[in-house]
Chains A and B, each alone.
Chain A
Amino acid sequence: MQMPKADLAIIARKSEILARLAAVLPQDSIISDTGELRAYECDALSAYRCPPLLVVLPKTTEEVAAALRICNELRVPVVPRGAGTSLAGGALPTADCVVIGVARMTEVLEADYDNRYIRVQTGRTNLSVSDAVSEHDFFYAPDPSSQLACAIAGNIAMNSGGAHCLKYGVTSNNLMGVTLVTMTGEIVKVGGAYLDSEGLDLLGLICGSEGQLGIVTEATLRILPKPEGARPVLIGFDSNEVAGACVSDIIKAGVLPVAIEFMDRPCIRATDAFSGAGYPDCMALLIVEVEGSEAEIEDQLNRIIQIAESHDPVEVRKARDAQDAARIWLGRKSAFGAMGQINDYMCLDGTIPVTELPFVLRRIGELSQEFGLDVGNVFHAGDGNMHPLILYNANKEGELETCEAFGAEILKLCVEVGGCLTGEHGVGIEKRDLMSHQFSQDDLEAQMRVKDVFDPAWLLNGAKVFPLEASERRRLDLARYAAE
């Protein structure tokens, strides 16, 4: 993955930029020490690292605006940052950029149970949003597996999903309003505690824009009453095809599970060895979870089991209580850890039409042979969002590159069967250069024209999302601005 060359002229002005920022921001909100800057050199795509010029960690929207005004005036690129858990390199700095992070903006501004929303500063972690309303028996639905660490800021920027989004939707379906600071330092309020927009759906546009349109400092989020209970059933099959067909039938039958998770054989074996979950040794596993009162749960699980039985499962294990449920989830929840135990891994995130599941899994198996790297599949089957985990050895010369090439083939395959490059992790730098496989020049141009409106000088996170050659003219304009 290439990054554009850093602008040496900007780097040479570090002390001037620092002085200008220090004049308007509290002392402790600026990091300029080379050693401390290292903590911000990467996100969770840690194969790529580059310490930024400076880091700013404001506590208020006004401070974010003040920092942006100065960066804009001095034509310094800015990379917004939440908690740095992006798997796509979305928060990867450049050597000539100022990172503006919202990690210190963690306040709950308002919780309103009658109108069912919570307003927070976006540095707050995903899980602690739910925690803040839990006492009142409410929760915030989108639940990325990284929810303990990731911030609402990154969730909004990446339009993150989670295990429960089959029923509750992803971030954008649960986002009612934001405060956005644009590159010029203008504070813009979009949406609020009411539903839908008076005009163009700018909120929908901002969500998922990967920190390229502005810095989101506050968010109004929809909260929901907790369900009475939830329980899963585990179903094992002796082929991926049959498991795939079963998923389709469950969906068609009108049961709306909160989650349908799928694991293939390599993943089942690895997670079972790691967690001792006691999974059956079969080709494919489904974990299907439903919610409701005791009787409702029982009824839905029985419907699901009835459908599964028509597909000759090798095992059906219905959770009877919370303990059973925890055991069933144990392996799935430790899947990434388990794979990490075996080797370094790269986690992909393509989406495919559910009906293409068997074909795509077969093809991934063939590619695995061709590239000589193992791969395990664990994913949100209900909505076709796959997470192939490719195992490689980072210390082996050239293996990261082989792994990336293999990953690219899988993502192209996802596009070929009618899916997309990324279902929830975002494009960042990781899938940037594959964008032209999914989009025509006109398609990409239309998206870049949106950025032109919000950030005409392309200062915000400009080296992400769009293939470098596609965005080059616009980014070079930036260099021209800088020269003037």
Chain B
Amino acid sequence: MSLFQPTDEQDLSDMLRSADAPVRVLGGDTRGEYSDPATQISTAKMSGIVDYVPGALTMIAKSGTPLSEIEALLAKEGQQLAFEPYRLGALLGRKGSSTIGGVFATNASGSRRIQAGAARDFLLGVRFVDGEGHLIKNGGRVMKNVTGYDLVKLMCGSWGTLGIMSEVAFKTLPAPELTQTLVLHQLDHAQAVAAMSQALGSSYEVSGTVYLCATQSLYLRVEGFSNSVSYRVTALRALLGEYGEQEVLDHDASLAFWSDLRDVSPLKEDKGDIWRISVQPSDGVETFERAGFRTGFYDWSGGLIWGSVAAGTDLRARLGHFEGHATRLRGLSETVPKFQPQPEALARLSQGLRKQFDPRGLLNPGLMG
């Protein structure tokens, strides 16, 4: 196995141009996707923040820049990545640190996705090298841009299969002054999803909704300026009075809870395969049951289910046909694909795009289909 670490775009382009066998694309290698001995290209040496303008809410960074470095710099200016990317390192037992390129390549979006948007909604521009070594840019560093096709969204969540990103520009947001969390106890799954739906159907701008199956507790996050937060928490308590016992986590306890959640802590003791299913919230409970998860939690108003099953389980066989998609985030399998197979027409279009950007099939072949 050989590991290449290009130091700049030219270097990266040369490597891909001369590559004659499949390559595995790595950011911080926190995912451990690959067990095969293919050549690896890591973005680790293309690192550093290129530009950060807090007053314009934008940052440009090289793709190999560690997420931790970026978040530390943002924190100094009282800003944050509002889509709060989840961190799988601990869960997968990997040592590396996530890179910003990896975060966007996997469209890793956390609990605030329901209110603030996904990683793909924050990515403003990309520079990447395609499978033939062409350097391509798309988007830019401004907040509104419809100039040409949106390859930025296409690259976000393409898991390195269309090109290797060298630089990303993204939107940042001010971190809230105060965070509080309303906790409702002893709810069953259906009650929890109903309460989430009610909370998000209100105008109180709930920015996180998580139900932990193990403790039967529902967590509803409210953020913003202090008096606004206390007003909205009070209003929510009244709105959700029928669900019984209530508790409010203060700022520090809230931050700790939601930060743990970014590490997918509710599943950290589990040893099985970990899956993430996206459905419409009202299908959540039934989907959870059909999946037969041993343990897990609901996010995104009940529409995102994280759960674990025995290693090697073909979860999709259990789920049958459903509106949504299931992705395996931990566990390797020769027979069960990681990503939900697309319907035929979409698969054909995706295949067509891969052929255009990576005609020789060099980039992470087989990962996404």
Contact = CB atoms under 8 A, between A and B. Distances in A.
B118 A195 contact: yes
Contact of B146 (A158, A205, A300, A383): A158
Nearest to B342: A199
Contacts of B130: 446
A420 B150 contact: no
A446 B346 contact: no
A340 interface: no
Contacts of A251: 55-57, 174
Contacts of B324: 192, 194
A198 interface: yes
Interface centre among A195, A202, A226, A453 (most CB of B within 10 A): A195
A225 to B, nearest CB: 5
Contacts of B176: 254
Contact of A115 (B146, B231, B282): B282
A199 B75 CA distance: 32
A198 B340 contact: yes
A388 to B, nearest CB: 15
A207 interface: yes
B242 interface: no
B342 A208 contact: no
Given A353-B142, A355-B55, A449 B174 contact: no
Contacts of B77: 252
B118 A384 contact: no
B146 A159 contact: yes
A198 B149 contact: no
A365 interface: no
Nearest to B143: A383
Contacts of B345: 186, 188
A446 B134 contact: yes
Contacts of A445: 134
A197 B157 contact: yes
B303 interface: yes
Contacts of A253: 174
B140 A195 contact: no
Given A192-B323, A450-B149, A420 B197 contact: no
A226 B204 CA distance: 10
A423 B142 contact: yes
Interface in A216-266: 225-228, 248-249, 251-254, 256
Contacts of B154: 200-202, 204-205, 450
B53 A353 contact: yes
B350 A199 contact: yes
A291 B307 CA distance: 37
Contacts of B303: 115, 194-195
Nearest to B351: A453
Interface in B104-129: 107, 109, 113-114, 117-118, 120-121
Contact of A293 (B54, B231, B323): B231
A296 interface: yes
B233 to A, nearest CB: 13
Contact of A193 (B55, B109, B175, B323): B323
Nearest to B152: A204
A337 interface: no
A292 interface: yes
Contacts of A424: 144, 146
B350 A202 contact: yes
B136 to A, nearest CB: 5
Most buried by B among A193, A227, A445: A193
Q: Which of A200, A225, A293, A384 has the most CB of B within 10 A?
A: A200
A395 interface: no
Contacts of B342: 198-199
Contact of A435 (B54, B109, B147, B327): B147
7 contacts: A159-B150, A172-B153, A173-B117, A200-B158, A438-B147, A439-B148, A450-B356
Given A204-B152, A453-B349, 16 more contacts: A170-B146, A172-B150, A193-B280, A196-B109, A204-B154, A208-B146, A208-B149, A254-B175, A299-B225, A353-B53, A424-B144, A446-B130, A450-B149, A450-B356, A453-B352, A454-B349
Interface of B: 53-58, 77-78, 107, 109, 113-114, 117-118, 120-121, 130, 134-138, 140-154, 156-158, 161-162, 173-177, 197, 200-203, 225, 227-228, 231, 278-282, 300, 303-304, 323-325, 327, 339-343, 345-347, 349-350, 352-353, 355-357, 368-369
